[in-house]
Amino acid sequence: MKIIEPSVELAEDFDGAAVMKKLERAGRVCYKSEVNITADSAEKFLRGVIKRGHESVIEHASVSFKIICDRGVTHELVRHRLAGYSQESTRFCDYTAGKFGGELTFIKPCFWSEDDENFLLWKETMARLEKNYFALRQNGARPEEARSILPNSLKTEIFMTANLREWRHILKLRTDKAAHPQMREIALKIYKILVEKLPALFDDIRP
């Protein structure tokens, strides 16, 4: 059994300044103000359209992330319908195969310390589930059958793409203190990347 921390990886790096210039070009079509484009006008223009709620302008750019988290988190992520998803399949992935190291991988819960009694109980439960998953496979159960006992804590990988307006919507909801702790943990990692790359589009969101 392996226990790991969740992680977020920007799937493809991009030039934030170039993205903003593209979005400015798109947005100025609405006002026929292309003549006002200068080398440094994009940031001010985009902050203005966001302040006015004209966020359709930023739908012209998308960002993708590879997210490693538990399956409970992905159940929340995929509820955001204006996005594309490709997720590790427990139906077709045989975790007894060598490429998975012959063990199950679980995501460490962020709300318990390792010496907490609840964490120790969780860890014991994951070990038992791993043992029983392997027993089912040895007894002839197919991966799509054995997966019926796999928990929310199972590590999964999901490739997610959304336009920048949708990312703003997701981050406003999922970085809020009322969000599920593990969902918020992932959302804050995504926010950190996007606010560094595109501060004019995300720094008004204050987790």
Active-site residue set? 174
Exposed, middle or buried: residue 73 (CB in 10 Å: 0-12, 13-18, 19+)?
Answer: buried
Contacts of 63 (CB under 8 A, 6+ apart): 10, 14, 161, 162, 164, 167, 194
State the Cα–Cα distance between residues 69 and 4, nearest whole angstrom. 9
19 Cβ contact list (under 8 Å, min separation 6): 61, 198
